[in-house]
Amino acid sequence: MKIVLSTEEDIAPLAERYLVLELDTFRIQGNEIPSWCIVDAGDIGLGDMTQLAHYKEQHENLIRNYKKGDLNFVEQMLEHLQGKFGGNLDSYYTELYSRIKTQEPPEPWDYVVEKDF
């Protein structure tokens, strides 16, 4: 799995050939830049391949609801997605779970991760 920072427009051509999933959005020097993981199909077991479209849709729902601030939905979906995609996203799911369980949500809700470089 590779993780890249890219606009949705720039990542779109890769999504035609690879499994591309959105992760966090970062704010770097005032610019919001989404991050994406690119998963190699060889890392996904045959049993998961038949459910790949379903898992991808669930991951997209997870990200969409995280952006809306529906953390209850996110927590439930994280438990369901653990181990999917050949386990490639498990560390991300664990980090996201830790973030929503141990950090006080900002008021107003802001899903963007601030980074100073």
79-91: per-residue pLDDT in tens? Answer: 999 999 989 999 9
Range of 24's domain?
A: 2-107
Q: How far apart are CA 42 and CA 59, in angstroms?
A: 19
Number of domains in the chain: 1
Q: Give yes or no for a contact between 33 and 26, defined as CB atoms under 8 angstroms apart.
A: yes
Instruction: With 0.75 as the threshold, say if the pTM is over it.
Output: yes
Q: Is residue 115 part of a domain?
A: no
In this model, does residue 27 exceed pLDDT 90? Answer: yes
